Structure 1
Amino acid sequence: MQINHTRNGVIALCQDTPTTLARDWFSVDYWRAKNAVVGSSKGRYTTWFVQADAQAERPHWVLRHYWRGGLMEKISRDAYFYTGLSNTRAMAELALLDILYREGFSVPKPIAANIERHGLCYRADIIIERVAGAEDLVARLSKTQMSDSEWQRLGAKLAQFHRRGVYHADLNAKNILITATDFYLIDFDRGELRSPSKGWQRANLQRLLRSFNKEKSKCPALAFTEANWQLLLAGYNSALAD
């Protein structure tokens, strides 16, 4: 990973990232001026999809700013107390993704992170590669069912991450993408590598189950049932035991 120092902070670049990448690239206004914004995902805040290369067949990038939530949001929407570069939200997420991507895990390719110091605080952004042909599980299940084998494969995929000790701080149905051939985990903000333990692994799965049930309550037609969950657990337990 390459660290480039800027006037107010640093830009961290991962493998194959253009060395010309500058601070402006972390601003959606920069991409708007180039007519390169190709979409967005709206949650509590907006994540932007941009076309970083003029050639349409090249992968799109995902640009995300780090925003606060909960009670701290009332104090500051996006400023975090600085305790060192490796402790910043963006650097920690980029480093974790870099490890997992290099090891062949189904995660987005990390591109770069931007950390800007402001006195005792910092603000940050991250750029990752968009997973081509993917949609999140809520979008998929709102339209169609997944097969029994897909539910089992999803469970096995989660077990693969857990066996490595990957803790996902916000494991929910919208942070799991499905493509024609695979499942991907996204949004590793506050994620980390831990010693494998049934305690946090079980809590991680329960968080996912609560997410499915929450989405089901909002959309009764969502193709999720207790039988689906049991298939997921069967795939998970089988893969974890291997």
Structure 2
Amino acid sequence: MLLSTNKNITLAYSNPKHHSLTASHFDANFWQENNAIVGTSTGRRTTWFVSHDTKPWVLRHYWRGGLMAKFSDDLYCFPGVHQTRPIAEFRLLEEMHQLGLPVPRPIAAKIERIALWYRGDILIELIEDSKDLHAVLSNSPLPQSLWHQLGKEIARFHNHGVFHADLNIKNILLSENKFYLIDFDRGELRKPKPSWQQANMARLRRSFDKEKGKLASLYFNDNNWQDLLSGYQSALK
């Protein structure tokens, strides 16, 4: 990770070739003015898909949730550069990418200091031709082999001590029969232990059940979960 600080702006880069990026590249208006927005994803907030030198990237701003959002929707208490949420996620993505785990490649991250506070953004590569697992299962079932494969992939992360703070059905992408995990905000590397690993899996199961409750036709059932667990347990060290 390469850091560059100018006044109240700190930028992190994954590669020297990205040094040409400036703070303006983290503003959706910049991409709109250059007709470079190729799509969006709308959840609680909008995530932008942009094109840079024909490469598709994802631009995501860090928004607050819960009670604190009533006081400020995007300002966080500054804990030091490396502990800020954009830089921490950026570093984790770099480490996972080096480990060969299926995650998006990080491009750059930005934090803006405002006295004792900061706000931030991150740019990552877009996983092309992918859909989140909720979108996939809304339209068609997965074969048993893919459920088993998904379990094995999650076990790979856990074997490396990767804790995903929000492991859920929408943070799993499928592209050409390959799974990817995304959105590692507040994620971290931990010593592998059954306690947090099992809690991670329980969170994922709750996510499936929650979405099934909203959409009865979602292609998910207990047998699918058992197939996922079978793959997970077969690969967990």
Alignment of 1:50-129 (within 5 A): 50-53=50-53, 58-129=54-125
Q: Within 2, Cα distance between the matches of 1:213 and 1:16?
A: 44
One-letter amino acid matched to 1:236:
Y
- The gaps in structure 1 that reach 5 residues or longer are none
* Displacement of 1:19: 1.5
Structure 1 moving runs of 4+ over 6 Å: none
Query: 2:38 touches 2:50 (CA, 8 Å); kept in 1?
Result: yes
* Displacement of 1:93: 0.1
* Displacement of 1:7: 2.2
Query: 2:9 touches 2:23 (CA, 8 Å); kept in 1?
Result: no
Q: Please name the residue that 1:216 is paired with.
A: 212
Q: Within 2, Cα distance between the matches of 1:16 and 1:88?
A: 22
Query: 1:135 touches 1:177 (CA, 8 Å); kept in 2?
Result: yes
Moved more, 14-23 or 131-140: 14-23
Q: Within 1, Cα distance between the matches of 2:150 and 2:231?
A: 7
Q: Within 1, Cα distance between the matches of 2:16 and 2:229?
A: 37
Q: Does 1:149 align with 2:145?
A: yes
* Displacement of 1:17: 4.4
| Number of equivalenced pairs | 237
One-letter amino acid matched to 1:91:
I
Q: Within 2, Cα distance between the matches of 1:17 and 1:94?
A: 17
One-letter amino acid matched to 1:31:
W
One-letter amino acid matched to 2:138:
S
TM-score, normalised relative to structure 2: 0.98
One-letter amino acid matched to 2:38:
V
Q: Please name the residue that 2:44 is paired with.
A: 44
SS of 2:11's equivalent? strand
Q: Please name the residue that 2:181 is paired with.
A: 185
Q: Within 2, Cα distance between the matches of 1:15 and 1:147?
A: 38
Q: Within 2, Cα distance between the matches of 1:82 and 1:178?
A: 35
Alignment match of 1:175 (pick from 171, 178, 199): 171
* Displacement of 1:71: 0.6
SS of 1:123's equivalent? strand
Q: Please name the residue that 2:198 is paired with.
A: 202
* Displacement of 1:16: 5.8
Question: How well do the aligned residues superpose, as a CA RMSD in angstroms?
Answer: 0.9
Query: 1:3 touches 1:11 (CA, 8 Å); kept in 2?
Result: yes
Query: 1:36 touches 1:50 (CA, 8 Å); kept in 2?
Result: yes
Q: Within 1, Cα distance between the matches of 2:215 and 2:71?
A: 34
Query: 2:137 touches 2:218 (CA, 8 Å); kept in 1?
Result: yes
One-letter amino acid matched to 1:152:
H
Identity across aligned pairs (percent)?
51
TM-score, normalised relative to structure 1: 0.96
